[in-house]
Structure 1
Amino acid sequence: MPAPHDVPGPGELVAAVREFLERDVLAGLDGRTRFHALVAINTLGIVERELELGPGHAERHRARLRDLGYEDDAALAAAIRDGDLDDRHAELRDALTEMVRDKLAVANPGYTQE
């Protein structure tokens, strides 16, 4: 972990809270409170995965945009709306598929398991 912060890092702290909720708290809850605890546990899992995977995903996302010839998502979206990529359908489809896979790897990795 870079200075000035010591260990544990943010990912380890989030994991510790998530594990505490899963192991020690959840069993004693029911109804609405249990539901909200499950939402909190899921949210902490998302944060863990984003901390772990986010930097690599960000770099790959920038590379995909660069390969398609656009600086950011807004420019890519405008080009799609304007039909500028109609002749590059397969390339665009592949890039968008990978973008969605990266998002799902953080939001809910189970959606991409085959």
Structure 2
Amino acid sequence: MPTDRPNAAELVEAVREFLEDHVAPNVDGQLAFHARVAINALAIVERTMGQGDAMDDAELERLKNLLHRDGNLAELNAALCRAIRAGEIDGQREALLAHLRRTAEDKIALANPRYLVKRG
């Protein structure tokens, strides 16, 4: 049930913390590498569960504004690709670049937020 505790986010966090605090410090070599990969993957899942829907909603709204049409995220991203290839979006260069930059930043924020801090 979605309201039961622990919820999915809490379970993912607990597994990540267990790997980080108890497994990773006690293994080395290939197993340490795989533990770190698992920890990082779970951290991405945590961030996606917490921020992913809002980021998708914002991206969808930007796409609707750029393309002046409705659709889901996959449809509108495909439509944007077609519009770029056809040269139909050239008059909205600044809005397009702002959208692409924001979308890339959101994806990086989920995958590796430290990269954005390093880049400033």
Matched AA of 2:112: N
Compared with structure 1, are the counterparts of its residues 109 and 85 closer, same or farther at alpha carbon in structure 2 (3 Å cutoff)? same
The structure 1 residue matched to 2:98, chosen from 89, 94, 101, is: 94
Q: Which runs of 5+ in 1 are unaligned?
A: none
TM-score after normalising by structure 2: 0.88
TM superposition shift of 1:28 = 1.1
CA-atom RMSD in angstroms: 1.2
1:74 aligns with 2:78: yes
1:84 alignment partner, SS class = coil
2:42 alignment partner, SS class = helix
Matched AA of 2:64: R
In the aligned structure 2, how far is the partner of 1:55 from the partner of 1:9? Answer: 17
TM-score after normalising by structure 1: 0.92
Stretches of 4+ aligned residues off by more than 6 angstroms: none
The structure 2 residue matched to 1:65, chosen from 63, 68, 74, is: 63
Matched AA of 1:12: E
User: What is the total number of aligned residue pairs between the two structures?
Assistant: 112
Matched AA of 1:57: M
Q: Which runs of 5+ in 2 are unaligned?
A: none
1:7-86 to 2 correspondence within 5 Å?
A: 7-69=5-67, 70=69, 71=71, 72-86=76-90
In the aligned structure 1, how far is the partner of 2:2 from the partner of 2:37? Answer: 32
Cα-to-partner distance string for 1:60-110 (whole Å, 9 max, x where unaligned): 011011110154110001111111111211110001101111111111111
